[in-house]
Structure 1
Amino acid sequence: MRQIDDPDMLEVMTSRFRIKLFSLLFRIGPVTVSELARQMGADPGQVSYHLRQMQKHDLIEDVPELARDSRERWVRAAMGGWAVAGLETPEERAAVQAWTSQWVIDQFERLRDWERTHMTFPEDWQNAAFGGSHHLRLTSDELAQLRDQLYAVLEPWRELTKSRVESSEATPDSRPAFLFYHAFPEVP
């Protein structure tokens, strides 16, 4: 898990365009900048600009070994989770809040897209997808323990994904899968 303690990095990712670009890059990368621009419906120069801003903070990486010539640029999303730490000044907290707001919007837009299109997926994928909500009564220590257990369960799957992305060899029947969840205290 990458500890994010730089408010400038979070500010880079408060852009709705960059969040969508990063998400698309993870789903289809490694990919050329031209293909990213085509899929985003944007100008290649605009995509290149945003990729440079993201690369300054190691959010993306070049994959030069895939380029067929010096004009072709291949990129992929840098793998790894993020955890925000040590950002306590009012300006830093504002950057965290702006990024978190965009991040949550992206999660729910992706869920809405799945709900709208899930019937177009093969039946095995429809049956494999899942969701749920749970109402628990926990102490803060128990909630932290649950978080740590969930992270431990996910770690082998994250490592498998990372190895597939970094080797640029997706298993023929694999697809990007999006998992998100939130656990937080509520006022009784």
Structure 2
Amino acid sequence: MRQIDDPDMLKILANGFRMKLFGLLFRIGPVTVSELARRMDADPGQVSYHLRQMQKHGFIEDVPELARDSRERWVRAVMVGWILTGDFEDPEAKAALQAWTSQWVIDQFERLRDFERTHMKLPEEWRNTAFGGSHHLRLTKDELAQLADQLCAVLQPWRELTRSRVESNEAPPDTRPIFTFYHAFPEEP
């Protein structure tokens, strides 16, 4: 897990364009900047600018061994989980955290909405493997923390498998990007 302790790191992905760019890069990367620009329907210069900002903070990396010439730039998302460890108590840090959190939640639900609108276009075997759910639990704060640890432990081997496939650029032909998200939070009674 990568520790995020700097509000400037949160500001990088609090930008909606960068959040979408990072998500796309994860799904299709490694990829050329020109292909990212085409898929984002954006100017390659704009995409390059945002990629440089993300690279400064370690969210993406170049993959120069894939370039066919000196003008072609290949990039990929850095495959690590994030954990907030910084002191986000001062007003500027709180604002950065709130902006990033808001954009993160918006991105998650936009992706779920897009899946629901388009899932019938997927092959049937993929449509039938997607899942979701909601559960109403009554837990102490310590039990909720334990649940979070257990969920992270369940996902860790799958994250490692994904990281090795992305970094080696070797995955079975029927591999697809899978987006997983969940939230567990206390509600007022």
TM-score (norm. length: structure 2): 0.98
- Cα distance in 1, alignment partners of residues 18 and 50 from structure 2: 7
Following TM superposition, by how much is the alpha carbon of 1:72 offset from its aligned partner in structure 2, in angstroms? Answer: 0.5
Following TM superposition, by how much is the alpha carbon of 1:28 offset from its aligned partner in structure 2, in angstroms? Answer: 0.2
Equivalent position of 2:29 in the other structure: 29
1:158-185 deviation line (CA, Å, top 9, x unaligned): 0000000101122200000000000000
Equivalent position of 1:109 in the other structure: 110
- Cα distance in 2, alignment partners of residues 45 and 90 from structure 1: 33
Equivalent position of 1:165 in the other structure: 166
- Cα distance in 2, alignment partners of residues 34 and 167 from structure 1: 22
Structure 1 position 144 matched with structure 2 position 145: yes
1:58-95 deviation line (CA, Å, top 9, x unaligned): 00000000001110000000111111122221211110
Q: Give the CA RMSD over aligned residues.
A: 0.6
* Aligned residue-pair number: 188
Letter in 2 for 1:56: K
- Cα distance in 2, alignment partners of residues 5 and 89 from structure 1: 13
Equivalent position of 1:121 in the other structure: 122
Equivalent position of 1:179 in the other structure: 180
Structure 2 residue runs without a partner (length 5+): none
Q: How does 1:66-145 map to 2 (within 5 A)?
A: 66-86=66-86, 87-145=88-146
- Cα distance in 1, alignment partners of residues 69 and 153 from structure 2: 42
Following TM superposition, by how much is the alpha carbon of 1:142 offset from its aligned partner in structure 2, in angstroms? Answer: 0.3
Structure 1 residue runs without a partner (length 5+): none
- Cα distance in 2, alignment partners of residues 179 and 148 from structure 1: 16
Moved over 4 A (4+): none
Return 85-94 or 74-83, whichever deviates more: 85-94
TM-score (norm. length: structure 1): 0.99
Q: How does 1:51-70 map to 2 (within 5 A)?
A: 51-70=51-70
The sequence identity of aligned pairs, in percent, is 79
Aligned with 2:128: secondary structure? helix
Letter in 2 for 1:24: L
